[in-house]
Structure 1
Amino acid sequence: MAFWDNLWQGRASDFDSGSAGSNSIELTRRRPSVSLTKQGAATGNLRVNLSWRMRSSDIEGRSRQSSSLLRHPFKLFKPDVVQAHTQGMVNVDLDLGCMYELTDGSKGVVQPLGGFLGDLNDPPYIKLSGDDRFGSGSGETIYANLDHWEEIKRLLFFVYIYDQTPAFDRTHAHVTLYPSSGPRIEIELDEDAPQARSCAVFSVQNVKGELIVRREVKFVYGFQAELDRLYGWGLHWGRGYKTKT
């Protein structure tokens, strides 16, 4: 259900927060931004969660293939080609990352690749909690300590496909922001970009003392370096790998 069906009453600032977790704000092309400051949510830990699942068309396709599996039972052991919240084998690994720039001019990235996990209580005040490689229900989570928001100039949260398999068109990726108070904020990665390998999902900027969350949802065909160039971050990127587990 679209956000404006429940919450929009003609003014961008009139959000009904309700009880914790009972309502949500969906950022779309028509309604791309929200002020955490006006929501009274510019303090505490902002939790950002990435989850993804198989699209319903793929699930329906699997149902139609059930009779084929009976005739060819060894197909059952063939890995899936998209990430899903199931116990089956998968081979698409979506990662959540965050580029940061602090008011003192320092810049960097928090992401699973390279083990840049960040720190919540010291600069950059951004912390990655684990790396979900299997599409579990909990997904991947990054925390931002907004008690230090006056030291944060801008953040860019992004998603990339680690194994280099373009599959955004077949995965239903979803990013949810959980502020310390007020409604959660929902962003769907629903643009048509089947060959993209990375996506800038949303930005957080300190605009004249106000903390603004803005939907980006910009897909690129490269990786973090291309997102860097798109947003003018100016970091130096190299080839990275994950440790095997």
Structure 2
Amino acid sequence: MATVWEYLRGERNNPMDSGVHGKVTLTKSQPQYPITGSGPTTGNLYVNLHWTARASQRSTSQLRRKLLQPRLLKPLEVQSYQSEQLNVDLDLACMYELADGTTGVVQPLGQFFGDLQRPPYIKLSGDDQYGAPSGETMYINLEKKDQFKRLLIFVYIYDGTPAFDQTHAQIQIVPPTGPRLEINLEERAPAARSCAVVLIENRGGELMARREVRYVHGFQSDLDRLYGFGMQWQRGYKEE
């Protein structure tokens, strides 16, 4: 039986997709796409972050020098340089504002994993370190869509790890029906510590996704100021 990860990684088509409905990539020229209609909605919205680490600059330069040298005694061990990668710890998170004005965050830092059946009706599956194939997944209860005013899906890099230019990262948004949405974090932003990826807004009962991909050099408090959620922040530490 196929798993949800096979659908997220594109290895299988989502059986709930029909016809040409496969995926939609949100870009600068086409940044928006509706997630739900105005009618009743059931099920959960899956938001998945997965990434791979780019090969380190040191190993790339070493490989280049090796390739320029003549083969004297034995073949080059190219694979050993290609497989040398840096560990990168990306975290998937969401700032939310509910219809009643309540604001908050769902994120691994501080273990704010949320709840699907009670406010904020958002739940993070856990904290995946160093880019396992399944990545990190967040669930959003679409049956409570009228309770949402706006959701900011963002990614941050935990303190002490390499920056965004060391990774190939992608967020996929998979609704119960229709195409999955993909947002690639392709820009080189070596000094950035956080990235606002996509904003989901309730527009007259319909949830609309809008690509943001805005990198900031700071952390959650800086994203908060940028989008005006108005929360108070303090320094947090991640349990290993």
TM-score normalised per structure 1 = 0.78
Query: Is the CA contact (8 Å cut-off) linking 1:203 and 1:215 kept in structure 2?
Result: yes
Query: Is the CA contact (8 Å cut-off) linking 1:166 and 1:196 kept in structure 2?
Result: no
Question: Residues 197 and 40 (structure 1 numbering): CA distance in 2 closer, same or farther, change over 3 Å?
Answer: farther
Shift of residue 143, structure 1, vs aligned partner: 0.5
Q: Which residue of 2 aligns with 1:231?
A: 227
Question: Residues 175 and 23 (structure 1 numbering): CA distance in 2 closer, same or farther, change over 3 Å?
Answer: same
Q: Which residue of 1 aligns with 2:102?
A: 106
Shift of residue 36, structure 1, vs aligned partner: 1.4
CA RMSD of aligned residues (A): 3.0
Question: Residues 41 and 62 (structure 1 numbering): CA distance in 2 closer, same or farther, change over 3 Å?
Answer: farther
Cα deviations by residue, 1:49-70 (Å, 9 ceiling, x for unpaired): 10111347969828827969x9
Equivalent pairs counted in the alignment come to 212
**Residue 148 (structure 1) aligned to one of 122, 129, 144:** 144
Cα deviations by residue, 1:14-72 (Å, 9 ceiling, x for unpaired): xxx5359x71000000000001124989542000010111347969828827969x9xx
Task: Work out the percentage of aligned pairs sharing the same amino acid.
Answer: 54
Structure 2 portions without partners, runs of 5+: 1-16, 68-73, 75-79
One-letter amino acid of the counterpart of residue 197, structure 2: V
Deviates more, 1:173-182 or 1:158-167: 158-167
Q: What secondary structure does 2:110 align onto?
A: helix
Give me the whole-angstrom Cα distance separating, in 2, the residues matched to 1:202 and 1:105: 20
TM-score normalised per structure 2 = 0.79
Bigger radius of gyration? 2
Query: Is the CA contact (8 Å cut-off) linking 2:47 and 2:139 kept in structure 1?
Result: yes
Give me the whole-angstrom Cα distance separating, in 2, the residues matched to 1:39 and 1:102: 18
Residue 25 (structure 1) aligned with residue 21 (structure 2)? no
Give me the whole-angstrom Cα distance separating, in 1, the residues matched to 2:93 and 2:159: 15
Give me the whole-angstrom Cα distance separating, in 2, the residues matched to 1:94 and 1:172: 11
Query: Is the CA contact (8 Å cut-off) linking 2:92 and 2:107 kept in structure 1?
Result: yes
Q: What secondary structure does 1:115 align onto?
A: coil
Cα deviations by residue, 1:62-121 (Å, 9 ceiling, x for unpaired): 8827969x9xxxxx8xxx663xxxxxxx2x211000001110111100000000000011
Give me the whole-angstrom Cα distance separating, in 2, the residues matched to 1:39 and 1:24: 21
Aligned counterparts, 1:13-162, within 5 A: 17-18=17-18, 23-38=22-37, 42-55=41-54, 61=60, 64=63, 82=86, 90=87, 92-162=88-158
Question: Residues 63 and 23 (structure 1 numbering): CA distance in 2 closer, same or farther, change over 3 Å?
Answer: farther
Query: Is the CA contact (8 Å cut-off) linking 2:93 and 2:153 kept in structure 1?
Result: yes
Q: What secondary structure does 2:104 align onto?
A: strand
Give me the whole-angstrom Cα distance separating, in 1, the residues matched to 2:40 and 2:192: 33
Shift of residue 127, structure 1, vs aligned partner: 0.1
